[in-house]
């Protein structure tokens, strides 16, 4: 970026350095795959081709390729489609193992944030970003929250499943009554439901949310309607709507700046009124840190549609402050705006889980139990990867993943069954792609109670893969 003086006094420079290192390490691992395969393709077959190819792969990718494919290259050429999918899957597996074993983002350190949100009057923050891969880093980067303290479940257009969220609300409230977690039921805190919609400042008419026709006003309205439906569902079913709080956040996917729609004391949100982090950055950049914090709180309070609850003001101010670091992150390392203003996802993630995906444009999500349930999200993903991979003759790499609770009898077996059922359904729904070798799947499960990594069940490639944990 330009001069260091342009950085905000509240920017976390050490945090930015840590996040940049992680982003570069993970994304470069995926982005080396195609250049390596091009290099192997250019080698041509010679008696020592396999040895040369494995040396290149081990040096550039960090792992060896399936020897069977290399051994057969002399017959019909190198099977680049299979090698591409296999390499994406192996890179993903290694990334996931590192994430769960080493916690490179420090996202499991949740005590301070849990204490803070309870002081603000909330006992759980449940966030739904759009499934677009440009929002996959919303928790750890954009909002700078510990992923272990936040429930994240992505849906196309931010249009979350109301019934599923009500079920989660019931689960959380029951745990408060029975176990006093995260606090006891007599503490007057609420379940906070947040939707993050998105828009593009570079190309607003084409690079906004596809589910809403790149119309950011429509995206905000639809997200608000879904939030209101959730609160109404709780009120209609349990007569306790006061235990639900709502928050709406917009994200500019080009700059990572957010705008927070702060509700008034009655919980009313105005989609046309918001606190803009870019404007806050400009207004407070020349202040001392303490004065900047005070000014942020004033700006948040001024942008609520009426008098706002103090706890919500504190939370919104913290989110804005956290986002200032991300605004500067994009300025430091991406010239102020991302070069990939559109889609650049490396693979699709389908099923339930994916806590380890915390990077922008790494994954397109389709959270679902069945293909029928997530048909719309899958079709959006198919369209995205039609341009990213299929148009270049490469397959769509899909990770099918189901997390389960190991203490529940039969949970692992049911997760495995779901993986295989979804795999068959995907192959049938996109049969033309599958038949041409343009759709490949890796199947994995994970015991979220065990604190370990994923367990790979197999792939559509019919090749041996590394094992999980």
Catalogue the active-site residues. 132
Strands 275-276 and 258-261: antiparallel
CA-nearest of 190, 271, 272, 264 to 231 is 190
CA-nearest of 134, 141, 203 to 333 is 141
Q: Is the peptide bond before 182 cis (omega within 30 degrees of 0)?
A: yes
Contacts of 28 (CB under 8 A, 6+ apart): none
H or E segment and range at residue 194: strand 190-199
| Rounded Cα distance, 5 and 162, in Å | 45
| Rounded Cα distance, 308 and 299, in Å | 12
Q: Strand pairing partners for 401?
A: 351, 444
Cα-Cα-Cα-Cα torsion 398, 326, 107, 181, nearest 10 degrees, comes to -110
CA-nearest of 195, 357, 192, 337 to 257 is 337
CA-nearest of 60, 76, 99 to 469 is 99
- 8-state DSSP, 243: G
- 8-state DSSP, 301: H
CA atoms within 13 A on the CB side of 442: 30
| Rounded Cα distance, 257 and 345, in Å | 20
| Rounded Cα distance, 199 and 201, in Å | 7
CA-nearest of 421, 434, 333 to 382 is 434
Strand, helix or coil at 260? strand
| DSSP assignment string, 409-445 | TTHHHHHHHHHHHHHHHHHHHTHHHHHTT-EEEEEEE
For residue 203, the tally of other CB atoms under 10 A from its CB is 12
């Amino acid at each position: 970026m330009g001069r260091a003086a342009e950085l905000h006094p509240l920017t976390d420079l050490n945090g930015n350095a840590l996040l940049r290192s992680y982003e570069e390490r993970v994304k470069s691992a995926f982005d080396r795959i195609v250049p390596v395969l091009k290099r192997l393709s250019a080698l041509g077959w010679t008696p020592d081709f396999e040895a040369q190819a494995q040396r290149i792969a081990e040096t550039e990718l960090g792992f060896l390729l399936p020897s069977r494919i290399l051994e057969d290259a002399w017959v019909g050429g190198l099977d680049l489609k299979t090698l591409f999918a296999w390499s994406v899957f192996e890179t993903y597996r290694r990334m996931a193992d590192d994430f769960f074993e080493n916690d490179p983002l420090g996202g499991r350190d949740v005590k301070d944030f849990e204490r803070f949100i309870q002081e603000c009057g909330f006992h759980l923050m449940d966030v739904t970003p759009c499934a677009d891969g440009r929002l996959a880093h919303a928790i750890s980067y954009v909002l700078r929250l510990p992923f272990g303290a936040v429930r994240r479940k992505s849906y196309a257009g931010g249009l979350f499943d109301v019934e599923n969220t009500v079920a989660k609300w019931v689960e959380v409230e029951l745990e408060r009554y029975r176990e006093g977690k995260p606090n006891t039921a007599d503490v007057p805190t609420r379940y906070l439901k947040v939707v993050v919609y998105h828009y593009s400042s570079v190309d607003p008419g084409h690079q906004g949310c596809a589910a809403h026709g790149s119309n950011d006003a429509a995206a905000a309205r639809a997200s608000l309607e879904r939030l209101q439906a959730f609160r109404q569902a709780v009120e209609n079913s349990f007569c306790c709507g006061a235990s639900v709080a709502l928050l709406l956040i917009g994200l500019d996917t080009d700059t990572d700046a957010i705008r927070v729609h702060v509700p008034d004391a009655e919980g009313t949100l105005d989609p046309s009124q918001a606190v803009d982090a870019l404007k806050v950055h400009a207004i407070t950049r020349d202040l001392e840190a303490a004065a900047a914090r005070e000014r942020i709180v004033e700006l948040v309070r001024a942008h609520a549609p009426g008098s706002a609850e103090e706890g919500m003001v504190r939370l919104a101010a913290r989110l804005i402050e956290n986002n200032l670091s991300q605004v500067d992150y994009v300025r430091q390392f991406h010239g102020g705006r991302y070069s990939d203003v559109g889609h650049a996802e490396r693979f699709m993630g389908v099923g339930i889980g994916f806590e380890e995906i915390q990077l922008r444009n790494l994954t397109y999500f389709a959270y679902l139990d069945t293909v029928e349930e997530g048909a719309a999200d899958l079709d959006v993903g198919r369209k995205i990867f039609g341009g990213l991979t299929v148009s270049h003759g490469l397959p769509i790499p899909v990770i099918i993943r189901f997390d389960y609770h190991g203490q529940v009898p039969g949970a692992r077996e049911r997760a495995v069954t779901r993986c295989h059922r979804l795999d068959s359904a995907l192959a049938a729904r996109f049969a033309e792609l599958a038949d041409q070798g343009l759709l490949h799947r890796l199947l994995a499960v994970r015991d979220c109670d065990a604190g370990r990594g994923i367990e790979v069940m197999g792939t559509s490639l019919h090749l041996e893969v590394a094992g999980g944990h």
